[in-house]
A and B are shown apart, each in its own frame.
Chain A
Amino acid sequence: MSDLHFKTITELAAMLAAGETTSVAITQAVIERTAAVDGQVKAFLSSDPEDALAQAKTSDERRTSGKAIGPLDGIPIGIKDTLAVKGQPLRCASKMLENYVSPFDATCITKLREAGAIIWGRLNMDEFAMGSSTENSAFQTTCNPWNLETIPGGSSGGSAAAMSAGEAIATLGTDTGGSIRQPAALCGVVGMKPTYGLISRYGLVAFASSLDQVGPFARTVEDAALLMEAMLGKDPLDSTSIAPQGETNYAAALKEKKGPWKLGVPQEFFGEGIDPEVKVNIEKAIDWYKEQGCEIVDISLPHSELAVPVYYIVATAEASSNLARFDGVRYGHRSDEAKDALTLFTKSRGEGFGDEVKRRIILGTYVLSSGYYDAYYLRAQKVRRRILGDFEKAFEQVDAILTPTSPTPAFKRGERANDPLAMYSSDVYTISVNLAGLPAISIPSGFTENGLPIGLQVIGKAFGEADMFAIANAFEQGHDYYKAVPAL
């Protein structure tokens, strides 16, 4: 087996341009790697090697005729099971959509196809993206390639694990409260959530519409930047998408921007609940930036501790509304016991949804119900603005904010499965970023003594992706962590 599957997009693009390899060879390497290791990792819900190879052949023909498109042309990219790919299953890891096949491509998929990328496989996740460990999938539990006894994080756990194990050259995930960054940190890869609105949500199955964003997993910051450049932009099919502002040639800009930067460190992110090894690791990363001449500024985000409760009100409220569409009528699961209109809804939903989804539908319905709306939902929306205000104030002083991505490294399967509050605390450092609509990236920053990856989070200003990428790239290129791959 070749080692093409562990190369970066940038490396492969150069090899393709020089005629040293082909898209078919790269795609074949990824398919063989997946066949060899996915029995252990269990990242893929399904895949279609023939379709991927056909796309690769088209890419190679394009290149031979001198019409190669750009750095993504011929690169296989794995897709989370919540994004629509025409003709492929779209199940959101739920029994509710067990037999659903998408009739169209999501806008981000269309854009990747236009850039020549190979769309590869369906990656496991928590059901409807609700969870932090990928244990809520209705079909299988994905393992962390660094230690198969532990979880890969979630909800985009399949995307992170596949990336880490070399089962794709890059993958896509979605991030509503940390669902890209937390699994990226736990699996030792780069994961990025853009400014809200930068990537169209058309073709993404809605969970919490005011928070959901599509984003890339990659081996390097530069690769993530290339994927972002291909996918961003206002889309007439998503009225909440927004035209980018400022610098968007991220990959070129990250090499030019050298700092030094003013970097904020919020005291609230280093207190109770953080694993001591994670704390030491992130403090070391902050010291590194200081040694490079960056000014480290102590900042305060005083409402941070309220981000988790605000999130679980706002996100469940939006979810209970969005998931009302699964009614057993037009698509998805229909109960055999449905006898009239009401049981058609109640039985189909009762059978189709798993425990966590039901928990959130009940919670969301409750906080929106008459008599409780003001006390919970309206109040949470007001505190949400306070959380945004904290960030706006901090960004008057600093270019970006440095924090741990996750308070702990990967935990053992089953450890938090029956304790929702413990599970929700996995996202304590990522959630406020979604509430405020900001961009953030997690990059590998080292390992625990037991060899589990740790991630550093860089939070940027709204539409400040160019600076955020440059700051993350500086750390990455100053260390070797991103080159480490798990032994499988």
Chain B
Amino acid sequence: MSETPHIDIDYVAKLARLDMTEEEKSKLGAQLDDILGYFDKLNSVDVEGVEPMAHAHRVANVWREGDQPDETYAPEILTGMAPDQRDNQVVVPKVVE
């Protein structure tokens, strides 16, 4: 990475499913270039053979014991949080033609 790549904001915003105005994009573009330039500091360190660290402790998979379901919530509590709902179901715009 001798040259800092310029982020294609339209492409990344599409990946992130995030709508942004032209004004937001142009402001962010300049800031992101600065931030990515700053990330280049990481190239100064030799990481050959270093194991990546995703977590502070070594934690293995944790499996639930048995099949006892935990206490849960009434459907109306859960669907009641949705922006639109009917008959204990979440209503969304039409998604299939």
Contacts and interface: CB of A to CB of B under 8 A. Distances in A.
Interface string A338-376: 111111111101110101001101110110010010011
A52 interface: no
Interface string A75-86: 000000000000
B82 A330 contact: yes
B54 A340 contact: no
A268 B86 CA distance: 59
Interface in A98-147: 100-101, 103-104
A343 B92 CA distance: 11
Interface residues of B, number: 49
B7 A306 contact: no
B42 A379 contact: yes
A73 to B, nearest CB: 26
Interface stretch (A39-47, A182-190, A380-388): A380-388
B17 A345 contact: yes
Contacts of A351: 19
A358 B42 contact: no
A383 B1 CA distance: 17
B28 A362 contact: yes
Interface string B70-97: 0001000110011110000010111100
A327 interface: yes
Contact of B12 (A313, A347, A365): A365
Nearest to A347: B19
B35 A363 contact: yes
A349 B19 contact: yes
Given A309-B42, A350-B19, A383-B42, A341 B95 contact: yes
Nearest to A303: B45
Given A313-B39, A355-B24, A421-B38, A320 B16 contact: yes
Contact of A331 (B41, B47, B82): B82
Given A346-B17, A363-B32, A330 B12 contact: no
A196 interface: yes
Interface in A275-330: 303, 305-306, 308-310, 312-313, 320, 324, 327-330
Contacts, number: 158
Interface in B28-54: 28, 31-32, 34-35, 38-39, 41-45, 47, 50-54
A240 interface: yes
B39 A353 contact: no
B42 A380 contact: yes
Contacts of A385: 50-53
A330 B41 CA distance: 41
Contacts of B78: 103, 330
A460 B81 CA distance: 42
Nearest to B55: A210
Nearest to B83: A334
B1 A375 contact: yes
A362 B56 contact: no
Given A358-B24, A421-B38, A103 B92 contact: no
B38 A306 contact: no
A138 to B, nearest CB: 15
A50 to B, nearest CB: 23
A333 interface: yes
Contact of A329 (B13, B24, B41, B82): B82
Contact of B92 (A240, A344, A359): A344
Nearest to A338: B93
B50 A312 contact: no
B63 to A, nearest CB: 9
Given A240-B59, A365-B12, A436-B56, A359 B28 contact: yes
B19 A361 contact: no
A215 interface: no
Contact of B93 (A100, A103, A309, A339): A339
20 contacts: A103-B73, A103-B78, A210-B55, A312-B39, A320-B16, A329-B82, A329-B90, A330-B81, A332-B83, A341-B92, A341-B95, A345-B17, A350-B18, A353-B18, A365-B15, A382-B51, A382-B53, A383-B50, A385-B52, A420-B35
Interface of A: 100-101, 103-104, 195-197, 210, 239-240, 242, 303, 305-306, 308-310, 312-313, 320, 324, 327-334, 338-347, 349-351, 353, 355, 358-359, 361-363, 365-366, 369, 372, 375-376, 378-386, 388, 420-421, 436-437, 462
Given A331-B83, A384-B53, A437-B57, 7 more contacts: A196-B57, A240-B57, A306-B44, A349-B17, A362-B13, A385-B51, A386-B50
A-B complex: 5 closest residue pairs judged by Cβ atoms: A437-B56, A350-B19, A381-B52, A334-B83, A239-B62
